[in-house]
Amino acid sequence: MGSVRTRKDTLFFDFRFLGERCREQTTLPDTKPNRKRLETILARIEAEITLGTFEYGKYFPNSSMVNKMAEIQAKQKPGYTKTPLFKAFAIEWYSEMEPTWRTSTAETYQRYIDKRLIPHFGEMEVSQITKAHILKYRSNVAKQSDGKLKPKTINKFIKCLNMIMNEAADRYKFTPPHLNIKPLKEEKVHIQPLSIQEVNLILANVRPDWRDYLLVRFFTGMRTGEIDGLKWENVDFERREILVRETFSMGRWEYTKNDGSQREIEMSTLVYNTLQERYQNRDVSCEMVFHANNGSPVHTPNFLRRVWTPLLAYLKIKYRKPYQTRHTAATLWLAAGENPNWIAKQMGHSTTTMLFSVYARYVPNLTRKDGSAMERLLASNIDGFHEPVNEAEKQADEELSVSVNQAQQSEAEEVAFWDQFLTPSQTSSMGGRY
């Protein structure tokens, strides 16, 4: 039989449920009307306990006893099977999955499990973790971080938890609790590619020993780990291709980000000539294309501190992370009118979705041709319409025309050169690309 009692002049419930003593504090002062009101509620609680319909969370949603009572009730249901604690299962799951991941991925998941998930769910049976538990955990993480953790980061914690719970549900035949939980809304990532003028300014002012490194980054779209891990054996001068086969990240060699990142990047003439000259003047004892003075791969923190950051500050260019060189390559290719499928292949993307959703908006700004096609259509078909003349565009067009003519002349000379050594059938099979 429960009772309404008082502690420090405020009333609280004292009753038993599922063999446990339950004491739930209220904020009501000890007055006769308040006591009578709580006794009425207590009588209703005991009636529901007798009928087997009492829901602890309905009356005391913020109580620490809610989860405990839910676990006890679940264990008393027919067909209940004891399952391992989350801590033990998470460690077992990690050991089984670790060989399938890259080292950096494995370390990340290990950190999430040890520092984020086990402290909260470790002592709970995997089958007793509910949707409410996950939502409450996510909410607490967001509040405790005070905005320091972005939704994208919190979603990664939950993704790791979901993978563990999926495997547990499959093994112990229960419904995964995370189903229908939508991820937190993530902020849209805005890229900041550099303009061709900024690229030219950087290449003209960077230290000579770093110029080749930045030039290749700007005009190949390689990721930091890919270019830092580039070896001469993966530079095919005969086919004019850079073979992306591995990366150097966090001080070790690893497989690329994914299978799609295993690709062949076609070298432009500028990149080809730069690497050719570098190869001829290389240190034959070093297998790396770009390396520190001692022959080890590029040390990114050192590059940031001593080269990249002071260079942008000196040139008064808004700071970007070096990864923006990859985005710069994509926008320049699009602005030059390259085939989107070819660009996606160069970047290591499986589809062109990324190009049109992220990069395409920069094309008009780079080409200064936004709407000009319509202007030319009207000028050629509508009487009395004259296309407005933009002097800046006119000059740019003239410069572009000169560049195109020079490129065509250079290509014609190159074709003539190779024609001395190739039969007609070989020439046609080359498809015009050398």
- Domain of residue 38 covers 3-66
Q: Is the domain of 200 the same as that of 338? A: yes
Considering the domain boundaries, does residue 361 fall inside one? no
Structure confidence at residue 394 as a pLDDT band (50, 70, 90) = low
Q: Is the domain of 116 the same as that of 259? A: no
pLDDT tens readout for residues 266-293: 999 999 999 999 999 999 999 999 998 8
Considering the domain boundaries, does residue 190 fall inside one? no
Considering the domain boundaries, does residue 186 fall inside one? no
pLDDT tens readout for residues 168-208: 999 998 889 988 899 999 988 789 999 999 999 999 999 99
Q: Is the domain of 240 the same as that of 303? A: yes
Q: Is the domain of 282 the same as that of 216? A: yes
Among 64-78, 140-154, 227-241, 357-371, which is the least confidently predicted range?
357-371
Structure confidence at residue 430 as a pLDDT band (50, 70, 90) = very low
pLDDT tens readout for residues 2-29: 899 999 899 999 999 988 899 999 999 9
Q: Is the domain of 331 the same as that of 206? A: yes
Q: Does the CA dihedral 72-76-77-82 come out positive or negative? A: positive
Q: In this structure, are residues 22 and 34 in contact, taking their beta carbons and an 8 Å threshold? A: no
Q: Is the domain of 242 the same as that of 378? A: no
Tokens of 378: 């009207």
Tokens of 347: 């970047």
Q: Is the domain of 310 the same as that of 218? A: yes
Q: How many whole angstroms separate alpha carbon 17 and alpha carbon 178? A: 28
Domain boundary among 104, 137, 172: 172
Q: Is the domain of 95 the same as that of 200? A: no
Considering the domain boundaries, does residue 76 fall inside one? no
Considering the domain boundaries, does residue 228 fall inside one? yes
Considering the domain boundaries, does residue 335 fall inside one? yes
Q: How many whole angstroms separate alpha carbon 187 and alpha carbon 184? A: 10
**How many structural domains compose the chain?**
4
Mode of pairing for the β-strands spanning 10-17 and 20-29: antiparallel
Q: Is the domain of 168 the same as that of 23? A: no
Structure confidence at residue 434 as a pLDDT band (50, 70, 90) = very low
CA angle, 388 then 392 then 393, to 5°: 60
| Phi and psi, residue 281, nearest 5° | -105, 15
Considering the domain boundaries, does residue 268 fall inside one? yes
DSSP 204: H
Q: Strands of 10-17's sheet, edge to edge?
A: 3-7, 10-17, 20-29
Instruction: Please compute, for residue 27, the number of CA atoms within 13 A of its CA located in the half-sphere on the CB side.
Output: 1
Considering the domain boundaries, does residue 101 fall inside one? yes
pLDDT tens readout for residues 296-342: 899 889 999 999 999 999 999 999 999 999 999 999 998 888 888 99
The CATH number of the domain where 107 resides is what? 1.10.150
Q: Which helix H or strand E contains 110, and what residues bound it? A: helix 103-112
Q: Is the domain of 207 the same as that of 269? A: yes
Looking at residue 423, its pLDDT comes to 43
Looking at residue 92, its pLDDT comes to 96
Q: Is the domain of 153 the same as that of 55? A: no
Q: Is the domain of 152 the same as that of 202? A: no
